């Protein structure tokens, strides 16, 4: 049986701080997204800010063997997640997903947003809107006594009703002292199943939504995940606390 950690008030206070930095990084980076900007410039900007706030980039050096080399995951168009920043320049009409994690005082925060680069197609704008809405609907299911897969089902229902697909091979996760804790949070499933949510649990909920089919593949770099059909993808994520009555978004 999955044991989901329940956080103390002190631990939640520390997670609020790391999550605050995460939210501020996404605001900073989002404001810099424009045609001509390189993905490594966004990455440097994020790392400088995190360190200036007394935090540590959670993703840099993450993994075993093939360690992730950067502060941000920057994923463009058909890249779903875990894109590695480099000299690539953003181009008008692209969508770019930015995922960032911060560790401070031993506790983590994690969030992601997908941004439009300049003017983008109506279909891409709709993809971004539906993905963000699916996250909002998932968070609305976060309350004591609900089941974990109530969260999952809320994502799937909204995404598929709008003609898009949820990635099956990647999941959200618990978060706290570790970047990835129990439980795994799929973006599809049957409402009324899975572990019961309890006050003090902290969840990183992250719909990853494809404009086409849900199948994905891993690039040769061992990190970048992209859609198999080459169609664009969007990714939104928040770190969310289960409170006495509902949810508090720590990375708001």
Q: Does residue 96 carry a pLDDT above 80?
A: yes
Whether 246 shows a pLDDT value over 90: the answer reads yes
How close are the terminal C-alpha atoms of the chain, in Å?
A: 31
Percent over 90 (pLDDT), the chain:
99
Average pLDDT over residues 179-183: 98
Q: Which residues pair with 97 in a beta bridge?
A: 75, 114
Q: What is the pLDDT of residue 1?
A: 66
Q: Is 158 exposed, middle or buried (0-12, 13-18, 19+ CB in 10 A)?
A: buried
Which of the four CATH numbers 2.102.10.10, 3.30.1490.120, 3.90.230.10, 3.40.640.10 does domain 9-249 have? 3.90.230.10
118-170 pLDDT per residue, tens: 999 999 999 999 999 999 999 999 999 999 999 999 999 999 999 999 999 99
Percent of the chain with pLDDT over 70: 100
Give the pLDDT mean for 102-110.
Answer: 98
- Is the pLDDT assigned to residue 2 strictly greater than 80? no
User: Is 236:132 a contact under the CB 8 Å cutoff?
Assistant: yes
| pLDDT class of 224 with cuts at 50, 70, 90 | very high
pTM: 0.97
pLDDT of residue 85: 98
Burial of 198 (0-12, 13-18, 19+ CB in 10 A): exposed
pLDDT tens, residue by residue, 13-42:
999 999 999 999 999 999 999 999 999 999
In Å, the largest CA–CA distance within the chain is 49
Count CB-CB contacts under 10 A for residue 94: 17
201 within 8 A of 147, measured Cβ to Cβ = no
């Amino acid at each position: 049986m999955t044991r989901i950690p329940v956080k103390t008030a002190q631990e939640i206070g520390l997670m609020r701080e790391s999550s605050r930095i995460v939210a501020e990084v996404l605001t900073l980076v989002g404001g810099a997204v424009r045609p001509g900007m390189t993905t490594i410039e966004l990455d440097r900007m994020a790392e400088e800010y995190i360190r200036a706030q007394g935090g540590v980039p959670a993703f840099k050096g993450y993994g075993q063997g093939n360690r992730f080399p950067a502060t941000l995951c920057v994923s463009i168009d058909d890249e779903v997640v875990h894109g590695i920043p480099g000299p690539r320049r953003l181009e008008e009409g692209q969508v770019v997903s930015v995922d960032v994690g911060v560790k401070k005082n031993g506790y983590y925060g994690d969030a992601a947003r997908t941004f439009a680069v300049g003017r983008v197609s109506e279909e891409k704008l709709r993809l971004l809107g539906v993905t963000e809405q699916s996250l909002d609907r998932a968070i609305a299911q976060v309350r004591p006594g609900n089941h974990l897969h109530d969260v999952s089902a809320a994502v799937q229902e909204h995404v598929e009703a709008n003609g898009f697909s949820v990635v099956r091979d990647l999941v959200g996760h618990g978060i706290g002292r570790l970047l990835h804790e129990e439980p795994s949070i799929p973006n599809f499933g049957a409402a009324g199943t899975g572990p019961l949510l309890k006050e003090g649990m902290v969840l990183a909920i992250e719909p990853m939504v494809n404009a086409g089919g849900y199948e994905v593949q891993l690039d040769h770099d061992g990190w970048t995940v992209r859609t198999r059909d080459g169609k664009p993808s969007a990714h939104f994520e928040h770190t969310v606390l289960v409170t006495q009555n509902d949810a508090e978004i720590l990375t708001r």
